[in-house]
Amino acid sequence: MADKQYVMGLFRDEHQAVSAVESLTDSPFKIEKVHSPIPSHRLSHALKLKKSRVGWYTLVGGIIGFFSGFALASFTALRWELIVGGKPVVALVPFLIVGFEFTVLFAVFGNIIGFLFQADLPRFDWSTHYDERLSGDQYGILATCDPAQQEDLEDLLTEQGAEVRAFAS
């Protein structure tokens, strides 16, 4: 027999879902996941979620990008040291433009890599403990409890207005 029972409460209303999160936080049950069809600031607040750190990846990407772009332009110019248009071989203004474009490109790469890494995507086990209505119009709270307390957890969720769905494991 499984050592913990997964129960999901499905809500049509965001406020009910927020209230259920608050009740569960004060209960012996554990919130595993909260799903919603749109990003919800109220739910994030109730879950006390911290701000994402993904921006650091973006910043590092941008810094690497700037120096890569500038270095590429400088390296290629220094291979033959030809004077073009009376400008220095390593010309700051034109190379800053190349550096800028690379900054944006690599910052976006950093953004994407950071997102995939932090959000743990792509996921292959996404369908376990998932209900297909969650992408449509339902808010879902997946909670766990001791199998003996399943009924209590279901009652708590039902009281908050949820349609309850229990998962086999």
Residues at the site binding other proteins, with contacts judged by CB under 8 A: 14, 33-44, 47, 49-52, 54-55, 58, 69, 72-73, 76-77, 79-80, 84-85, 87, 91, 94-95, 97-98, 100-102, 104-105, 107-108, 111-112, 114-115, 118-126, 130, 132-137
Residue among 104 and 152 whose Cβ is closer to other proteins? 104
Q: Which residues contact 37 (CB under 8 A, 6 or more apart)?
A: 134, 135, 136, 137, 138, 139
Report the phi/psi class of residue 118: left, alpha or beta, with left for phi > 0 and alpha for psi in -120 to 50.
Answer: alpha
Residue among 40 and 150 whose Cβ is closer to other proteins? 40
**Closest approach of other proteins to the CB of residue 148, in Å:** 27
Residue among 63 and 152 whose Cβ is closer to other proteins? 63
Residue among 27 and 109 whose Cβ is closer to other proteins? 109
| 122 cis-preceded (ω within 30 degrees of 0) | yes
**Closest approach of other proteins to the CB of residue 40, in Å:** 5
**Closest approach of other proteins to the CB of residue 151, in Å:** 26
Q: What is the DSSP string of 53-117?
A: -HHHHHHHHHHHHHHHHHHHHHHHHHTT----TT--SS-HHHHHHHHHHHHHHHHHHHHHHHHHH
Residue among 59 and 164 whose Cβ is closer to other proteins? 59
| Contact (Cβ atoms closer than 8 angstroms) between residue 20 and residue 157 | yes
CA triplet 99, 104, 110: central angle to 5 degrees?
A: 115
**Closest approach of other proteins to the CB of residue 64, in Å:** 14
**Closest approach of other proteins to the CB of residue 146, in Å:** 24
